[in-house]
Amino acid sequence: MPRFNYYQQFPEAFAKLSEIENLIRSCSLEPQLIHLVKMRVSQINHCAFCVDMHAKEAKIDNEKELRLYHLTVWKESELFSAREKAALKWAEAITRLPAQSVSDELYNEVRAHFSEKELTELNMAVAMINLWNRFGVPFQAQPGSLDKQYGLDKAGLSG
């Protein structure tokens, strides 16, 4: 059961966050990559609302369902490109920040696939979904509750 609508409690701040999301949607990264990263980070953070939302957005953007099913085992799956795996590895590392920072080895591995601009955009996408998860989880946002408002009912996915 949802606790309360946090959006309504600080609408000016959430409007600014939505503006940043619009910038992320229009950045140079592929939409499928952004969907995969947001969904994986939301899985790590146990945010059911965001997992639900990003699975539906990915499906609307023609992501293959099997890749979404494989996302929890992306390291073992052959369905993801080296670039996507690098992005997922980076997303996991900065979601679970290690005590000693992100290693030079990981940084260099990811930089082989992303320009400085792209890595900055990727980092912003990961940071933003982590921020959204910090609201969805403690306030128990209900999966599917905004489907109609966000056009996610077009995904044809329902429980």
- The C-alpha atoms of residue 27 and residue 31 are separated, in whole angstroms, by 9
pLDDT reading at 1 higher than 90: no
Q: What is the DSSP string of 84-152?
A: HHHHHHHHHHHHS--TT-S-HHHHHHHHTT--HHHHHHHHHHHHHHHHHHHHHTTTTPPTTTTHHHHTG
Residue 90: pLDDT band with limits 50, 70, 90: very high
Residue range 92-98: mean pLDDT, rounded: 94
pLDDT of 81 > 70? The answer is: yes
Which stretch, 46-55, 98-107, 148-157, has highest mean pLDDT?
A: 46-55
Q: What span, in angstroms and rounded, lies between the C-alpha atoms of 11 and 17?
A: 10
Digit-coded pLDDT (tens) for 133-159 = 999 999 999 998 888 998 899 998 877
CATH class of 14-139: mainly alpha
Least confident residue range of 1-5, 56-60, 93-97? 1-5
Residues 91-115 have a mean pLDDT of: 95
C-alpha 99/C-alpha 96 separation (Å) is 9
Contact 54, 147 (CB under 8 A): no
Residue 59 pLDDT > 90, yes or no?
yes
pLDDT band at 99 (very low <50, low <70, confident <90, very high): confident
Q: How far apart are CA 102 and CA 96, in angstroms?
A: 10
Judge whether 157 and 57 are in contact, CB under 8 Å. no
**pLDDT of amino acid 12:** 98
pTM score:
0.93
Give the DSSP H or E segment for 36. helix 31-44
pLDDT tens column, 121-140: 999 999 999 999 999 999 99
> pLDDT tens for residues 5-46?
898 999 999 999 999 999 999 999 999 999 999 999 999 999
**For 106-114, what is the mean pLDDT?**
97
